[in-house]
Structure 1
Amino acid sequence: MAVTYTFRPMTTADLPLIRRWLGGADVREWWGDPDEQFALVSGDLDEPAMDQFIVLAGQQPLGYLQCYRLTAWNTGFGPQPEGTRGIDQFIGESDMIGRGHGSAFIRQFVDEKLREGLPRMVTDPDPLNPRAIRAYEKAGFVRDRMVETPDGVALLMVRDQ
């Protein structure tokens, strides 16, 4: 049976859940210090360039997804088509990792955005994170090149219409 994913806009009511997820070992491994990341994620609630979502599998909160306009903090991505957006995500519930949810909800989200006219979606996983790279590839992204980001070297991956 296929799972239906919903992307509910994140609110301040979700912050305790986000804090718990960021403290989990699987998220902390790739997102880093939970307190620092919580300050960034919670601080982005009022950022006009950032859309934040709680990903639900059926009715169950599963993870977090952020979709952003490329701005000054993404200059390392090089020239991109006008309107390109980036995404980052994590699965917060450890018992849901490794079950195909990541690639499935990423594909569903990006398919919707491309149907709405978005020219390209980009992401920049850590090149040492094979699980994330595999999930993005299964969601239709292709490896572009290594890029320098404020967080260090990353693998730029792209998905076009």
Structure 2
Amino acid sequence: MTVSAVYRFRKATLADLALLKAWRAKPHVREWWGEDESDVDVDFDDPRVLRYIVSTGGQPFAFIQDYTVHGWSDHHFANLPEGSRGIDQYIGEPEMVGRGHGTAFIRQRVQKLIADGAPVVATDPHPRNERAIAVYKKLGFVPIGPAFDTKWGLILPMVVKRCPA
């Protein structure tokens, strides 16, 4: 069931490290993000990646990041138009999963990225992550090729140019 909610995106900082590590340790997150937390211990000031803690009702419950797909010469989305952004996210609080929050806050962020000029927004779920793929399809994302291995793991490349309201 979808919950009507207002979402706030606050830039993640080093002060959020314990929260991010706690979320990453939860089985429903670890299933798709793995047990390696090396990507949690990152440079929060890296200009290529914008990281946010997502809250509703004053309570943080999710993480989302967006990044320039041209920030790495060997990135699998480097062939997309200049200005394109990639996204990754997860809901950290298990009781918030399956209630429509993912679709809603991803929609809000993708609409902002497109309004700010991104010609394409890309994402790369694991091809067996049916829940994530269903959410992305609801938001207008379409696969742009078959699943393939990257240095970040097995992915299904998907893109959207316009996100429905």
Q: TM-score with structure 1 length normalisation?
A: 0.91
Q: Which runs of no fewer than 5 residues in structure 2 stay unpaired?
A: none
Distance in 1 between the 2:19 and 2:55 partners?
Answer: 13
Distance in 1 between the 2:143 and 2:45 partners?
Answer: 31
* Aligned match of 1:58: 57
Return closer, same or farther for 1:16/1:152 CA change in 2, 3 Å cut-off.
Answer: closer
* Aligned match of 1:113: 113
Indicate the structure with greater strand content. 1
Alignment of 1:10-159 (within 5 A): 10-33=12-35, 36-37=36-37, 39-70=38-69, 71-72=71-72, 75-146=75-146, 147-159=148-160
Structure 2 counterpart of 1:121, one-letter code:
V
Structure 1 counterpart of 2:53, one-letter code:
I
Distance in 1 between the 2:130 and 2:73 partners?
Answer: 24
Structure 1 counterpart of 2:85, one-letter code:
R
| Aligned residues of 1:142 and 1:157 also touching (Cα < 8 A) | yes
* Aligned match of 1:9: 11
Return closer, same or farther for 1:6/1:74 CA change in 2, 3 Å cut-off.
Answer: farther
Q: Tell me how far 1:13 sits from its aligned partner.
A: 1.2
| Aligned residues of 2:83 and 2:117 also touching (Cα < 8 A) | no
Deviations 1:109-139 (A, max 9, x none): 1001111211111000000000110111122
Q: TM-score with structure 2 length normalisation?
A: 0.89
* Aligned match of 1:160: 161
4+ aligned runs moved over 4 Å, structure 1: none
Structure 2 counterpart of 1:4, one-letter code:
V
Return closer, same or farther for 1:56/1:74 CA change in 2, 3 Å cut-off.
Answer: farther
Count matched residues. 158
| Aligned residues of 1:107 and 1:140 also touching (Cα < 8 A) | no
Provide the identity percentage: 44
Distance in 2 between the 1:88 and 1:100 partners?
Answer: 17
Distance in 2 between the 1:17 and 1:52 partners?
Answer: 13
| Aligned residues of 1:4 and 1:57 also touching (Cα < 8 A) | yes
Q: CA RMSD in A?
A: 1.6
Q: Tell me how far 1:2 sits from its aligned partner.
A: 2.2
